[in-house]
Chain A
Amino acid sequence: MSDENAIYEMSINARISWQAHSLSNVGSNGSNRLLPRRQLLSDGTETDACSGNIAKHYHASLLTEKVAADGGRICPACLRGDGRRAAALIALPEYKNLNLKSAVTECVVCDTHGFLLTGKKGEEGKSADRERVSKHTTVEYAFALALPTKHAESDQLMARGGNSKDGGQMLMKMVARSGEYALCVRNKCAAIGNDLESGQQLVKDPKERQRRHHYVLEALRDQFLSPSGAMTATMLPHLSGLKGAIVIRRTPGRAFVYSPLEEDFIEQLQGMSVGICEVRVFQSAAEFSAIMSDLATSSTPYTVPQYAKGKA
């Protein structure tokens, strides 16, 4: 595979339509109403929102499944879905000397989603100081924001089992939300197996980096095509539309992102990208799937030349 296929960074800028979902909520009002998430927009309108946290969590879970099924490297914390990732291992005796290289080498999910083990001053005569160990995430999610003119919701009265002394059914109001959402995701492919902040190559085997890159892109594709989040056991969303643009940057720098709340977001991305990035437009879920599958199989993560020469 030639370097022409290497990607430094890519972004997905999409309008995605979900019908009758409750993917991201702010909690419940006691036990009788589930409250949807709201965000005030700069024009003074309030719109529906889905947090990036839940989308990132879902990507990590898809990635874990793929890596585990393939017999890839994964740490015990990620395998059980612990969001602290490598930082959750420090209490275990075999991970007492955890460092950046070992954490990243031994786990694809820690490498992709990042972690933070905070520094700690040791107690005099009892324990040594602990140095901060961290890696930034390679996949970054914005909030999904509903287009205010293309969003609706309806209250649903649901029955659920109660723990009251009478043991009867309890009623709960849940909101089924439907609409077209603006969503941006950025994936820094060059950071797979590398720490770009300290200039270190942590995973030296190009085949291993390629495998990790492939898993990340496949999980990204799958999460758009089969949405998940909160309440999906009984309110799995209908995916009814997906359009937008994938921006691919092959040299160091940023893959552009532009708010899909704006009608002309694809034209803006195309205009900004001339001579800098490649823009692949998709008008349906099938076209998106084809582009992502192609990237997963034919692209490679960018290798920083200094790292490859061992000068970093």
Chain B
Amino acid sequence: MNQQIWLTAYYHFPSVFSCRVPMSSISSAKTLPSPGPATIRLALIRTGIELFGLDHIRDELFPIIRSMNVKIIPPEQVAISTQTLKHYKGSADERVVDSIGYREFAHARGNLQVCLQISTAYVDVFKEILRGIGYWGQTSSLTCCVRVEHKEPDKSLCAVPLWKISPDVRTQSYFVEVATEFKRQDLTWEEIAGNTENMLSFLDVEIFLWPLYICERDGKGTLLVRRSL
């Protein structure tokens, strides 16, 4: 019988990254200090298709990816700044005009840790997929997997849904923001890959707390330092 084990992948950020907070406007986008659980599951699917082909991912690995335990340990320090960018904006008469938009970008020191709980039978394939992830969310948010090891996550350093936090934990001054997670563990492939009317209907939005203490917040940006919950 196959056992469940934890795999932890360490990701270096070679430059700034921007994982958009769900529901924040495209023209004024905030960033999370790390990708959320749904972004990680989608990156596993996307990279898996590239490395192993669509059929294998859809038929073999998707049922695992949609329901596996995913834990996220953010980098040790994260700095967030707002950047002004040139955007295209559609008008009512379908013309496109130049406009500006705002988007937050984060810079990190230390590695992001992505922890997956999987059956031992799938360790090799998930190691390869984890190593193959090259960006989170948008393609300019480059990342590089520096190693993957068998290691259980330190739960006090993981981002957690706010409702799971015990009332006696002091959460003041920690980073709190909404992130997305798959709506159900039995989602169908068609729900996530189909060209449906509402492309994001398979996602749930939850309030998460990151074990990142807000050290500074001023005109230059926000500086976050990792601290156990």
Contact = CB atoms under 8 A, between A and B. Distances in A.
Contacts of B79: 39-44
A53 B109 contact: no
B27 interface: no
Interface in A116-145: 119, 121, 131-132, 136-137, 140-143, 145
- With a 10 A CB-CB cut-off, give which of B51, B88, B134 has the most chain A CB atoms: B134
B146 A272 contact: yes
A132 B195 contact: yes
Interface stretch (A164-172, A234-242, A256-264, A285-293): A256-264
Contact of B88 (A38, A83, A183, A260): A83
Considering the complex of A and B, which 5 residue pairs feature the smallest CB-CB distances, nearest first? A142-B15, A40-B221, A42-B109, A40-B79, A42-B77
A199 B9 CA distance: 26
Nearest to A25: B84
A227 interface: no
A120 B54 CA distance: 25
A76 interface: no
Nearest to A272: B146
A145 B49 contact: no
B52 to A, nearest CB: 9
B96 A121 contact: no
A308 interface: no
B83 to A, nearest CB: 7
A137 B12 contact: no
Interface residues of B, number: 52
Interface of A: 13, 26-27, 37-44, 46, 49, 51-53, 83-84, 88, 91, 119, 121, 131-132, 136-137, 140-143, 145, 182-184, 186, 196-199, 252-254, 256-260, 272, 306, 312
A259 B132 contact: no
B216 interface: yes
B182 interface: no
Nearest to B76: A42
A261 to B, nearest CB: 8
15 contacts: A40-B221, A42-B77, A49-B16, A53-B140, A119-B195, A132-B195, A140-B142, A143-B16, A184-B14, A186-B142, A198-B54, A199-B53, A253-B128, A258-B144, A259-B13
Nearest to A118: B199
Contacts of B215: 44
B80 interface: yes
A40 B81 contact: yes
A309 to B, nearest CB: 12
Given A52-B140, A142-B140, A41 B216 contact: no
